[in-house]
Structure 1
């Protein structure tokens, strides 16, 4: 047979050489016998020398390894076997010492409820540039919820927060103020307006608006210096010819000429304007700040400007007459816009619409609407045969929200009507404050918030499925919080014989979202949160101590076992030796947040 490799080389060397046939090639191959080959002796000598050389090298390497203690051989081939780790079994749960102790072991939420009853007060976090959330600290940010020592054991009626000032109403109805904008020397909340039996608050850019239980509305300067030097109205007395002067400057802005028995029931304020709602459903507006007069239609009075305002004070109230005939039930204000809703489930908006916060298509030639305009909420449910009814309105910064209950018409008396509770948001959402998981600069048409829409739960008490509605929302300038109206239980006192040792308290779910520049969300991180999220319990030390005492595990397992924060709903409990109706409330301010014990 022809050697193909040799033939290829031959062909390459002589490409024009003629090919030989198989027979000719076989005959021309030389016939050589191995025994008489002339080079056989030389090949044998070369083989002997190669074997000797390899033997010598091997002996030398062996001696070198033996001399060095066979270190190389051990490193390459003698790997130590891995040590067996001792298996650590999960430790058993601590045995309860009492019925109440067993409830604490079972549920973190039960412990949270008890702590809120036993230790009422205020937790605050976020920006501390104005020494608001931590008056006794020089820290710029408070990253996680921290108690304000001044309010330990104190119940409040309301609280409002700004980065540079804050105001609160204590249980007696007196106004408390603090922060650097109030006073740079005072580091503790100070009583200012007293004896008015205040019940709720609102804040503008530089003033505090307070509503009394009798329906009177007061505006107070934020600055303590202005309170001391400003005009002080004369107080009236039941004693004839007897009058006295208040010790601080304030103005009364209760709407004049109210009907018999009519009084202001709600107040809300933006940066420069405020709304007042009366018990008969009428709405009044006025300028609530002193830096700029409202000029973006947020007062709801067409044509009202600084130049066209009537005689008298610049902040006198004006009734929004275009809302007559619509019994308004709720009012809300953002920085420069307003929202209202009536008893028939309709919503109206007016003011600035630069980011679509009114729910209308943005028009660059008309950036604001100066008269209340109806929102087409029924279009949101087009093609579903559902009837939409607005139940509440919320606003803050440049963002707005609606809560809507959608129902289908009942065909017969046997059919059961299922209510679908939804939440819709619109406006500015570039830092996540819309809560829909997206970063949107301008959302002019309402968009459904999935976290708070179409939710249901089973009510064991009534043996039926019910919708999970929103109990309340607090909208700050760029972040927000929502309290769910889920089924809660705060009936366990630990003394009832009808309850078992496994019955526990639990509160309502509360979620936060939006801008987190100042750690105002409460996650301990600074990244913005576009989707509503839970945070850890306010008293994390108590939660960690509970988990450690119950399970005795390490830090990693304690964090895994830690529950989320649940807010305590209203219940009658004993505080400081007396029975009171108390609940926890949340307040999202401008760059900061607070959760407080409210009455």
Structure 2
């Protein structure tokens, strides 16, 4: 038996108060009470009433709680007890019906590549105020990529979009137009200029500049009404003494001073001016709009204004003679400025510089430069022992971009591990208040080119060459205030003669495309993320075909919508490859185009 343990007794002695204090008489106590403040007795009475009130309320609350609790207790126990729910564990992945089905399940990139081959067409999004990105819809905005049904299964040579009109060249080389600026009564894309074998086009504020395979440059109005009522040139026929008039109005703007076997190879346009590049590296400029004559130096011809223009039509092409001796290979135009680069890695800029889009410090006394001026790109690599060479130029709105290959050099006699190593960088300058520079900051004016971290100094391992190679920028598409970039990263696309799978691929081998990123102003949802916030840092968007992606993801995880959404992958664009469509072999790739508040991805041949 356990016994309680006796604890030692502890005696605490309290000292007695002094004798004088203990012998207080009754009289003295009464006198002390009388000396108390007259309000003390009131406070004591108030305290007693408060304690009584709190006690009463506590008693009432306890009774009420007991009553309700007893009733709820009786009601709960009157019902049947709840059945225990079984835990839902992750289900195993469904079994693939074939090797190709297995590739679709394990790789979103493989599925995207295959869908782009099986279902060519056009995806568009952004502002729909001009019925351009969704001609058959009255929605104001298209927040995420949506197919234009008219182009389902169609291959295009080129496409350009504005908020109020769109223009495209089909597989045969004919021009199609749509949008409210073209015609408020015509909803679907309509053929306009036919039989010219067009290969590329550019758009100004109110005209379309189209280039044919033979190098002929056509300029025609956007408006269908002007095309029908304007002067129509005579077209010659192979039948002697037989000429016929075309059914729409247009002007031929091929330079008349081209040399033997020289032809126009590229065309680009701003809001009021256009540049033409020839096979001999010469550059011509002309007025591409009819509303205003170029007045900000963007033609590149000093002193050329509306008052000083030569006799003849106002939009006759003029050669930029100051660029003679520089074999120009790339051209680009913003709204009111121009950029060109030559085969030796030099870049020149001219036109409006109010936001620093020429790469020069802003001069309030002269807001534009009317003659091509050399950009000091080597200064960007001062102190790095690298030699800079411009490989491409891009422009749009009030922003400009350069891609540069920088090679590491050292003085003779000194050895370094990085000698001869090449780094690919992308630089941006101009207006960037809505993030269109892509540098991660909101900048009002950026006159000094700034490196874009997302596209600079990147490398990857190439298994074909067993070496580390720089990741370059394939191309940029720059709209009025947003842009998209396609990376030239290593892609893998294997297409057999019969189907999109091949015996050369193992069960787990998949195709993958190239990375594509968007940034800039998102007022009209032109970024394609489904949100409306501006983006200053290049970002990925979701795959174009959301239904196919959701089906693929459900094959991986079949036990909850939230988990399926976590498996969604980013959009990757399909590089060029030869495939069979409709029994014929075609060279096909996906391309992106950014316009004024709109974006699109199309199947390009």
SS at match of 1:277: strand
Question: 1:554 Cα shift?
Answer: 1.9
Question: 1:63–1:260: structure 2 CA closer, same or farther, 3 Å change rule?
Answer: closer
CA distance in 2 between counterparts of 1:583 and 1:73 reads 69
- Match of residue 504, structure 1, among 477, 499, 510: 510
Q: Could you list the runs of 5+ residues in structure 2 that have no partner in the other structure?
A: 1-11, 26-51
Question: 1:240 Cα shift?
Answer: 2.2
Give the equivalent residue in structure 1 for 2:432. Answer: 429
CA distance in 1 between counterparts of 2:232 and 2:375 reads 43
SS at match of 2:291: coil
Q: Is the 2:157–2:199 Cα contact (8 Å) retained in structure 1?
A: yes
Q: Does 1:456 align with 2:462?
A: no
How many residue pairs end up in the alignment?
A: 552
Instruction: Please provide the CA RMSD for this pair.
Output: 2.8
Q: Is the 1:126–1:519 Cα contact (8 Å) retained in structure 2?
A: yes
Q: Is the 1:492–1:503 Cα contact (8 Å) retained in structure 2?
A: no
Give the equivalent residue in structure 2 for 1:329. Answer: 329
CA distance in 1 between counterparts of 2:89 and 2:336 reads 60
SS at match of 2:345: coil
- Match of residue 548, structure 2, among 517, 542, 545: 542
Question: 1:28 Cα shift?
Answer: 6.7
CA distance in 2 between counterparts of 1:322 and 1:222 reads 32
SS at match of 1:117: helix
Q: Is the 1:329–1:341 Cα contact (8 Å) retained in structure 2?
A: yes
Q: Does 1:417 align with 2:420?
A: yes
Q: Does 1:469 align with 2:475?
A: no
Give the equivalent residue in structure 2 for 1:513. Answer: 519
Residue-by-residue CA offset, 1:508-546 (whole Å, 9 max, x unaligned): 000000000111000011111111000000010111122
Question: 1:70–1:300: structure 2 CA closer, same or farther, 3 Å change rule?
Answer: closer
CA distance in 2 between counterparts of 1:194 and 1:453 reads 43
Q: Is the 1:436–1:448 Cα contact (8 Å) retained in structure 2?
A: yes
1:341-420 → structure 2 map (5 Å cutoff): 341-409=341-409, 417-420=420-423
1:482-493 → structure 2 map (5 Å cutoff): 482-491=485-494, 493=496
CA distance in 1 between counterparts of 2:377 and 2:395 reads 17
Q: Is the 2:269–2:334 Cα contact (8 Å) retained in structure 1?
A: yes
Give the equivalent residue in structure 1 for 2:36. Answer: none
Question: 1:68–1:591: structure 2 CA closer, same or farther, 3 Å change rule?
Answer: closer
SS at match of 1:294: coil
SS at match of 2:110: helix
Q: Could you list the runs of 5+ residues in structure 1 that have no partner in the other structure?
A: 7-21, 33-52
SS at match of 2:492: coil
1:43-62 → structure 2 map (5 Å cutoff): none
Question: 1:82 Cα shift?
Answer: 12
Give the equivalent residue in structure 2 for 1:168. Answer: 168
Give the equivalent residue in structure 1 for 2:235. Answer: 235
Residue-by-residue CA offset, 1:331-380 (whole Å, 9 max, x unaligned): 00000000000011000000000100000001111000000000000000
Q: Does 1:446 align with 2:449?
A: yes
SS at match of 1:302: coil
SS at match of 2:226: helix
Question: 1:2–1:577: structure 2 CA closer, same or farther, 3 Å change rule?
Answer: same
CA distance in 2 between counterparts of 1:466 and 1:120 reads 31
Question: 1:73–1:301: structure 2 CA closer, same or farther, 3 Å change rule?
Answer: closer
Question: Under a length normalisation based on structure 1, what TM-score does the superposition of the two structures give?
Answer: 0.88
Residue-by-residue CA offset, 1:28-57 (whole Å, 9 max, x unaligned): 74499xxxxxxxxxxxxxxxxxxxx9xxx9
SS at match of 1:391: strand
Question: 1:136–1:61: structure 2 CA closer, same or farther, 3 Å change rule?
Answer: closer
Give the equivalent residue in structure 2 for 1:268. Answer: 268
